[in-house]
Amino acid sequence: MSEQVGFIGLGEMGLGMARNLLAAGYPLKVYNRTRSKAEPLSALGAQSAPTAADAVTPGGVAVTMLSDDRALEEVTTAGALAQRLGEGGIHVSMSTISPETARRLAQYHAQGGSVYVAAPVFGRPEAAASRRLWICTSGPKAAKERIKPLLDAMGQGTFDFGEEVAAANVTKLAGNFLIASAIEALGEAFVLAQKNGVDRAALADMLGKTLFASTVYQAYGRAIADRRFTPPGFKLELGLKDVDLVLGLASKSRTPMPIASLLHDRFIAALAKGRENFDWSAISIAAADDAGVK
């Protein structure tokens, strides 16, 4: 465990991930804009750094888990994360961002001798805390091999999508699009069921035990059937961010995606109705709203 690791971004996801790196024995320097968020990790032996660059050891590994493209870009360039990493350093970028930003940052790193690896994750905060994230990677092979033990300490499995650095980001966006699509479809199906005399919970139960016996349908199916959208596991606003990343990519690559366009409107409508503190599965309320169901 001689790898020196800097962890930047201690939000709901990052905190659990950093804790698992500590538990695996990595010496950890951590940084978060709101510095008090580092306190639970300091108590576990992490060193709290005053800036992102200070959390990074030259030639070491920097892990970032930030809210969006802009935050990641700022930390990496203006915040000097890349410069500090330098020759032999690896940036493990785990945020959900656009493939375009990933490619640009990979080039930026290359100029200073460090390597950028995309490693976005699937899973909510509780999965991050309990080391059950699924991780998708893309980027240079040697770097991915070197960081494998770190990823193993944070997730239950890693899927590689090759050397093109943005491939994992495309995959992550496709995955989030599929989850949001399933949420919308469940919302429509449950309103149809309810208006025609079928118990929503019984339907969710059957689906989750038969055709759709997977995490996404079981967890969201139950939540949508029960209309339980707080506390949010993944906030509605973050869902809009991701769907807009999907639509941006779809637009640039000339890929019409009618369900993604519908989802965009569903997110906008949910925010218009003041649902910003709900889980993103609350977009499913729209189908009920439209059908005059209270």
Please report, as ranges, the residues that interact with a second copy according to CB under 8 A. Answer: 99, 122, 134, 136, 157, 159, 161-162, 164, 166-167, 170-171, 173-175, 177-179, 181-182, 184-186, 188-193, 195-199, 202-203, 205-207, 209-217, 246, 249-250, 253-260, 262, 287, 290-292
User: Cα–Cα distance between 220 and 183 in angstroms, integer?
Assistant: 7
Question: Which CB sits closer to a second copy, 1 or 291?
Answer: 291
User: Cα–Cα distance between 226 and 116 in angstroms, integer?
Assistant: 42
Residue 200 neighbours by CB under 8 Å, 6+ apart: 190, 193, 194, 224, 225, 226
Closest distance to a second copy from the beta carbon of 259 (Å) = 6
Longest dimension (CA), the chain: 65
Closest distance to a second copy from the beta carbon of 92 (Å) = 19
Catalytic annotation on 37? no
Closest distance to a second copy from the beta carbon of 26 (Å) = 25
Question: Which CB sits closer to a second copy, 85 or 133?
Answer: 133
Catalytic residue among 29, 37, 172, 241: 172
Question: Which CB sits closer to a second copy, 7 or 116?
Answer: 116
User: Cα–Cα distance between 245 and 264 in angstroms, integer?
Assistant: 10
Question: Which CB sits closer to a second copy, 44 or 213?
Answer: 213
Closest distance to a second copy from the beta carbon of 262 (Å) = 5
Closest distance to a second copy from the beta carbon of 74 (Å) = 25
Positions marked catalytic: 172
